[in-house]
Structure 1
Amino acid sequence: MQYRELTEVYTDVAATSATTEKEILLADCFSRVHDETSLLPTVVRLVRGRVFARWEAAEIGVSTAGAASAINKATGVDSEQIETWWREEGDLGDAAAYAVDDRVQRTLTTTPLTVTRVYETLREVASYEGSGSQQKQIDEIAGLISDASPLTARYIVRTITGAMRLGVGEGIVRNSLARAFLDMSDDAADAVQRAIDLTNDVAVVAQRVAEQGRPGLDDVDLELFRPIKPMLAKQAESIQTAVDELAADLEAIGDTNNTESSPRKAVLVEFKYDGIRAKIHRNGDDIRVYTRRLSDVTTQFPDVVSAAREHIDAEQYIIEAELVGYDPQHDNDGPVTFQTLAQRIQRTEDIAATAESIPVTAHVFDLLALDGESLLEDELEMRLRRLNSIITTESVSQTELEPDPTIESTSSRSTLMTGTNNTESLSSLRRAQYNWVTTHTAATEFYDTALAAGHEGVMVKNPARPYQPGSRVGYQRKVKPMMEPLDLVVTRAKWSEGRKSDFLGRPYLACRTADDDFVEVGRMHTGFSDEQLATFTERVEPLIERVDGREAILTPTVVLEVEYEEIQTSSTYDSGYALRFPRLKQIRHDCDPSQADSLERVERLYEQQSVDES
């Protein structure tokens, strides 16, 4: 298949804003590709602007500056002109198209630009390492652009920069596959989604559904060393609200089970740790550790591997845990900040020394597979019983871990189940601390215990529900305190991706200095509804001073009221501080930049936070 044919499909898809029309266009493309060649997995990935599956530890790795250099080398167009087009259009792909159309140098011979060639070249570029690797990347990409038309050059560069601007998200690809190879019922789309959740590779799912239909999807299950996305929880307004909502859900399940026994009443309340969420996979002697972003961090956490080998009595499993860092120089059990712990992921050298200075405890809290059997469909209570049966660490008493709906006090159990850390055993594995509660009093007491121990808060879970990968499910809640919101000024924003690619989002946030300048304190990644995103874009587009690739530098005018979880020191932002997980509360139409919060207030809140935690 010629790459030109695929980019023509891109053009048609980008030209319509109607979701159904996008799905039909892609379904037709997928059907034709499958009928003609074995390119379907490749095409499905490229439509999403990717050449690697989510779980693959690789990315193209070419900066926008590198891509711009490749355009210059391939076309001979002056770098300043390319920069001008890029700034005017806000899209380096468009600049590439203009440069190819206006090229001042042409090769005497060209090599056909096929889908396979583009895909394999970009995957190969990602593998270049060491001295001269950046120049090799530029040379390879320039080779593709030299053989490209303006249209194909546009999408080669957009794939490299990760900005396809097609308005195609995972949901559209899912429905397109269902349209192409199934009956497109809601059930069919759900079957495709389930397979995507369990593989994290839409290319594998496409191949299965095309060749085997629905049975091929139904056969998809967990695989060792192929990580899946974690099950996510919704934020609760309070611990009382969380308990009430989960208890109601639990009772509703009991009422519909048609059993003679009365519905269970107790819900699970569990410490919410501020660490690295991880899945530990084991098959015999091979143990690997993956983050929630599906990255393999086994090399960075040899101590977790050793702790799992020593304290989990099973040869095959997938266990979920939170890796929490501690300071071995202090006698107390308080965790280090996430910012400190993140050094362990970033470090590729002196790993043993880093592990010694920042040891971790793996607080295990779920079991997804055991001895070759997937447990995703099992109730949480059953998964936890089996998890408890294979943990051998002495800090857990098996008799204490049996659910007891009558328990309404955690004071006698908290000391027993709190993970400890000492210099004799710098890293360890523990069962996450938890309790079964039926009253607000018990839940609130446990929540206060978690906060007093220096943790984020608690999770509240329905014990009768299965595991749902990659979803913010209605049967889990997270409860943690929020700090006072801040009114902050937007200094920069980026164009979004997928169906929202025409909108500016992901704003950088700044506070006022004493001399009425602005310094940044973070960047908001999520939190806009579709309506808010449209309103925000309308407000900030007239404020664009210049464009740098996909980023717009703005006149600091728009003020957002922002919630966040904590304030950390940071060298990333010029304020010296960074908000952790900032999210939009509201757009302050009634507020101008002179009324935004000051750096002094940010510093005061940081200091108060430190006092509260001590």
Structure 2
Amino acid sequence: MEYAALVDVYDRLAATASNNEKRDILAETFAGAGDLLPRLVVLARGRLFPAYDRGELGVSSSLTLEAVLAATGAAEDAVRERWRETGDLGDAAAWAVDNGGQQTLFSRDLTVERVHDDLRGLADFEGEGSQGRRVDALAGLVSDATADEARYVVRTALGHLRVGVGEGTIRDALAVAFLDDGGESVDAVERAYQVTNDFGVVAETARGGGVEALRELDVELFRPIQLMLAEKAETLAEGLADAAGDGGEAVHCEYKYDGIRVQIHVDGDEVRLFTRRLEEVTLQFPDVVRAVREGVAADRAIFDGELVGYAPETIREKSRSPVVFQTLSRRVKRESDIEAMVGEIPVVVHLFDCLYDGETTLDRPASERLERLGAAFSSVAPDPEGGVAGLERATSASASSEDPDSAATLYEEALERGHEGLMMKNATAAYQPGRRVGRMLKLKPTMEPLDLVVTRAKYSEGRRSEWLGRLYLACYDPESDELLEVGRLSTGYTDEELADLTEELEARIVNREGRLVELEPEVVLEVAYEEIQSSSEYDSGYALRFPRFLNVRADLGRTDADTIERVESLFDSQ
């Protein structure tokens, strides 16, 4: 298939704001894809790896610009000016192809296979000279491209296609292309994706076996699934009532910990850890691996839990003192001398669910999953000097809307010990990956912070003039795969935090205009605020009032940020 045909699909997608039209365009494309279906499904979002595979192409905006200049012969100042005007290096590449003046004597046709495979191949370059080889490979694609083709080659290389296609659009398009287009079909595709995190596998399964085959797709060890997420309760009584449901079932309550949500996969002695964003962090936590090997009795298992850092001097106490997330995140970022961090920032993993113990438990009630969790492991006391983390059940109690006292006591105790609040879970509910569900709620004492992406930044004035202290924040729209700004942040950080944050953001600058910089949208911050207001200043339609910095969320990516739907819900609940 010629790449030009896929580019035509991209242009059609970009030209319509209708989600139904986007769905139908993709459904038509997928239905006629033949052997290219797995490639086309990932290219439809401009992503070259499954969600669970954090493969990196290794091409920054600066390296991509270098490739565009090498391929086209265009003047760097002119390309940068076009980039600044449009905010899109893909558009600048298209302009450079038309205006660069460099002609290729020998060119190869651009096919979907070549673009997909050559771009994926960038991730395999290693060692000395690897950056130069990436630039050459990307320049080779651009030099053989038309202007419109170059636009999308560059956008795909940078991971942001800009055609308004999110996971929901892909899901619905697969249902239309290969299944009876109904709610049951959409649900089957969604669940298959939640347990595989691979639209290529889901697409081929839907085409080959329909709904029944999709339902047979299941979790696999070392292929992380999407984690179930909680909705927010405004009060304890509301949370218990919502979690209990119409049947008034018992509610399982637990501490809400402030750490890193972690999914632990075990196959004999092989142990791997994955974060909420499906990023593997096994190497960063050798102490957790040792604890799991010591404490887990099941030969094969998948657990859901929270990895929490504690002050070293309190790690052996019952009422340990948790460290702030920013401190814990240092362990995620550490690439050398990792063992030294085991004693400096010791951790305990608080397990609260068993998703697999030789067979899938996702569809089993929470009460049964908890029983299986108890049978699958024994607690391990933290031993920082011995290089072993703690491993234990999340602190919990049973309650109901008619008898809330145990939940209230647990909530107060969690807050006294420095944790975030309370989780409330329906004891009969199944585990629903990747969804915020009304049968699992969280209660915190203040208006819930938002996890937002930094899209732009401006250098401060006065004493902090060398630091990027004015940050534009955005929420995520999963339907359009776009980021929508919701305000600007300028308070809450210490000098040390702001200096570290500036260093991280400056590495992601794609364009400068005076003291304002545009950024690759990769850094996620946890932000507090007083309220959410309606606003025409930002493209979300909302603005945070008095936002303040809390933490850098190193465990989250742009698509893990809070959604526009979440912002709207918080606005309505004020």
TM over 0.5: yes
Give the 3-state SS of the residue equivalent to 1:126 in structure 2.
helix
Q: Does 1:480 align with 2:463?
A: no
Structure 1 residue 203: Cα displacement: 0.9
Q: Does 1:509 align with 2:489?
A: yes
TM-score computed with the length of structure 1 as normaliser: 0.76
Q: Does 1:457 align with 2:421?
A: yes
Q: Does 1:122 align with 2:119?
A: yes
Larger Rg: 1
Structure 1 residue 367: Cα displacement: 0.4
Structure 1 residues 86 and 504, CA, compared in 2 at 3 Å: closer, same or farther? farther
C-alpha contact (below 8 Å) 2:195/2:218 kept by paired residues:
yes
1:498 and 1:427 map into 2 onto residues whose CA distance is 36
Q: Does 1:214 align with 2:190?
A: no
Tell me which residue corresponds to 2:19: 19
Amino acid at match of 1:314: A
Unaligned ranges ≥5, structure 2: 451-468, 503-522, 555-560
Structure 1 residues 532 and 143, CA, compared in 2 at 3 Å: closer, same or farther? farther
The correspondence for 1:270, drawn from 244, 250, 254, is 254
Tell me which residue corresponds to 2:201: 204
Q: Deviations over 1:226-248 (max 9, x none)?
A: 1001100011112232112223x
The correspondence for 1:324, drawn from 283, 304, 308, is 308
Amino acid at match of 2:331: R
Give the 3-state SS of the residue equivalent to 2:124 in structure 1.
coil
Structure 1 residue 326: Cα displacement: 2.0
Q: Does 1:567 align with 2:550?
A: yes
1:16 and 1:484 map into 2 onto residues whose CA distance is 35
Structure 1 residues 295 and 523, CA, compared in 2 at 3 Å: closer, same or farther? closer
Structure 1 residues 142 and 456, CA, compared in 2 at 3 Å: closer, same or farther? same
Structure 1 residues 534 and 156, CA, compared in 2 at 3 Å: closer, same or farther? farther
Unaligned ranges ≥5, structure 1: 255-262, 395-418, 541-557, 572-579, 589-614
1:484 and 1:291 map into 2 onto residues whose CA distance is 21
Tell me which residue corresponds to 1:592: none
Tell me which residue corresponds to 1:397: none
C-alpha contact (below 8 Å) 2:486/2:539 kept by paired residues:
no
The correspondence for 1:315, drawn from 292, 299, 305, is 299
Tell me which residue corresponds to 2:274: 290
Structure 1 residue 510: Cα displacement: 1.6
C-alpha contact (below 8 Å) 1:485/1:562 kept by paired residues:
no
C-alpha contact (below 8 Å) 1:9/1:25 kept by paired residues:
yes
Tell me which residue corresponds to 2:376: 390
Q: Deviations over 1:258-282 (max 9, x none)?
A: xxxxx64x31110111111111111
Amino acid at match of 1:434: S
Tell me which residue corresponds to 2:327: 340
2:337 and 2:110 map into 1 onto residues whose CA distance is 44
Q: For 1:221-236, what aligned pairs fall within 5 Å after superposition?
A: 221-236=218-233
TM-score computed with the length of structure 2 as normaliser: 0.82
Amino acid at match of 1:432: A
Q: Deviations over 1:294-315 (max 9, x none)?
A: 1121222222121112112110
2:77 and 2:31 map into 1 onto residues whose CA distance is 43
Q: For 1:172-187, what aligned pairs fall within 5 Å after superposition?
A: 172-187=169-184
1:169 and 1:524 map into 2 onto residues whose CA distance is 22
Structure 1 residue 176: Cα displacement: 0.7
Tell me which residue corresponds to 1:361: 348
C-alpha contact (below 8 Å) 2:166/2:479 kept by paired residues:
yes
2:474 and 2:83 map into 1 onto residues whose CA distance is 14
1:65 and 1:493 map into 2 onto residues whose CA distance is 23
Which deviates the most, 322-331 or 177-186?
A: 322-331
2:492 and 2:23 map into 1 onto residues whose CA distance is 46
Identity of aligned residues (%): 41
Structure 1 residues 3 and 526, CA, compared in 2 at 3 Å: closer, same or farther? farther
Tell me which residue corresponds to 2:42: 45
C-alpha contact (below 8 Å) 2:48/2:116 kept by paired residues:
yes
1:502 and 1:272 map into 2 onto residues whose CA distance is 30
Structure 1 residue 285: Cα displacement: 2.4
Q: Does 1:469 align with 2:398?
A: no
Query: What is the Cα-based RMSD across aligned positions, in Å?
Result: 3.5
Q: Does 1:242 align with 2:225?
A: no
Structure 1 residues 328 and 139, CA, compared in 2 at 3 Å: closer, same or farther? same
Tell me which residue corresponds to 2:103: 106
Tell me which residue corresponds to 1:443: 407
C-alpha contact (below 8 Å) 1:63/1:161 kept by paired residues:
yes
Structure 1 residues 156 and 432, CA, compared in 2 at 3 Å: closer, same or farther? same
Q: Deviations over 1:30-81 (max 9, x none)?
A: 11112xxx11011100011100111113122311121111111110101111
1:236 and 1:335 map into 2 onto residues whose CA distance is 23
Give the 3-state SS of the residue equivalent to 1:281 in structure 2.
strand
Structure 1 residues 385 and 217, CA, compared in 2 at 3 Å: closer, same or farther? same
